[in-house]
Structure 1
Amino acid sequence: MITVNSNPDPKLHAVIFDCDGILVDTEPLHYRAFQEVLTPLGLGHDFETYLENYIGFDDRDAFIYAFKKAGRELAPTTLDTLMEAKTNALEQLILRGVPGFPGVVELVIELLDRGVPMAVASGALRHEVEAFITSLGLNGAFRAIVAADEVKKSKPDPETYLLAIERLTRLPGSKLLDPPNCIAIEDTRAGIRSAKSAGLTVIAVTNSFSLHELAEADMVIGSLSELSYQNMVKLIERRQVQK
């Protein structure tokens, strides 16, 4: 369990991480789990199609999209069954290990040392997110988690990020968080739009998409190993000057 230093920065109020494609390299695992469920139904697809069409969806919206694209009906009870089957398939894959992206642990530890509150805002289910955090050895580092099973609308709707900020604000000793002073770290256009709609400053990482495709973010980097507390503060300062 990691100890949290509660000493919020006057400029950088909070950092909120996406999970899949930012903290851990789980997209190949999600793809394989989806295929285990979709292929027997005649709805399987290749990884390139997954990257182009499915990243950014939560499980519910991904199955809805797959059936809609094929022109097939999807009953609510069938959807629930498919989601459970996909979750079970993913859990088996997670047991084999989940790789973290370069620089993730180091950045989280640096922000902890600086007293910056952190949260995770993810399109994955909560128990999946918790398993990924555990696999990185970062239990206790994130003061709030918002997962797909806790919101009504998935990204690009701002609900996930708005709820993350609300939960951070409600913590004992927390101050009011100004969204432009909070940084979201994302790897998809849907995630960027979700965070921007909630008013946050956004840093995108080209783990899943190209720089051009992530151009709506306030900053685009190639790896979290390029990111530090200092250049996050500088980004906030730059945005304040531009107002």
Structure 2
Amino acid sequence: MKKGAIFDMDGLLFDTERIYRDIWSSPCPFVEKINPQVAEAVCGTSGAHLIEILFSYYPGVQAQAYVDWALDSVDALLQKEVPQMPGCEEILSFLKGNNVKIAVASSSRKELIERNLQITGLRDYFDVIVSGQEVVYGKPEPDIFLLAAQKLGLPPFDCYVFEDGINGARAGIAAGCATVMIPDLTQPTAELKQRCTGIYPSLLAAVQAMEQGKL
């Protein structure tokens, strides 16, 4: 078993990826006509990479203002309730019980990560929190996972990365972590099926694999 575990948040720990998809697919003050491909393209990204994606679909858009609007809209919807994904607490409890250091590395704002963890009562499981705001290049670049491993005091190869998205899984692999994909809205590509350490239908299935020494 690895000594560290780094978790994405939206679509993995919490059933919130659909909220982001809905927001990016909704009419907004910055774009006359929404491109339906944008929601998937920006999934799991942040920072300069997110801005680049928006410019590629909407040349000349006020990209940072658009990002701020989208994140504020998500914030407003998550003020009171944050639904957990099946197996969320079980895997965190299992890892903590086996003295594995735990981090969350999410493209979301740090204050939103903290609030979600507090609302759900999961904050004490995590030794480290890393936000996409802390790196220049978001997923699929490896920066956020490299920073999380550094803050855990561990080499990347001794850390699991748990991800639901394609960009995130690619980032975990690029960082040199043992990358485990738990697909939510997006299914793994043929490339990821070959390169991921494991792909499981749920966090519960991943826990079972760890208990059996298969992960």
TM-score, normalisation: structure 2? 0.86
Q: Please list every run of 5 or more consecutive structure 1 residues that lacks an aligned counterpart in the other structure.
A: 1-10, 170-176, 237-243
**Aligned-partner SS, 2:125:** coil
Q: Does 1:209 align with 2:197?
A: no
Change beyond 3 A, Cα 1:92–1:52: closer
Change beyond 3 A, Cα 1:230–1:206: closer
- Report which of the two structures shows the higher radius of gyration computed on alpha carbons: 1
The 1-side partners of 2:134 and 2:95 are apart by 26
Q: Does 1:186 align with 2:174?
A: no
The 2-side partners of 1:201 and 1:224 are apart by 15
Change beyond 3 A, Cα 1:198–1:89: same
Change beyond 3 A, Cα 1:57–1:107: same
- Aligned residue pairs, count: 213
Give the aligned partner of residue 155 of structure 1: 139
Letter in 2 for 1:154: G
**Aligned-partner SS, 2:103:** strand
Give the aligned partner of residue 151 of structure 2: 167
CA offset digits 1:111-168 (Å, max 9, x no partner): 1122211001111111121122223210121111111111011111111111001111
Deviation at 1:59, TM superposition (A): 6.4
Q: Structure 1 segments of 4 or more deviating over 4 A? A: none
Give the aligned partner of residue 219 of structure 1: 198
The 2-side partners of 1:97 and 1:45 are apart by 29
Change beyond 3 A, Cα 1:162–1:40: closer
Higher mean displacement: 200-209 or 224-233: 224-233
Q: Does 1:15 align with 2:5?
A: yes
Identical counterparts, % of pairs: 24
Q: Please list every run of 5 or more consecutive structure 2 residues that lacks an aligned counterpart in the other structure.
A: none
The 1-side partners of 2:211 and 2:106 are apart by 21
**Aligned-partner SS, 1:207:** coil
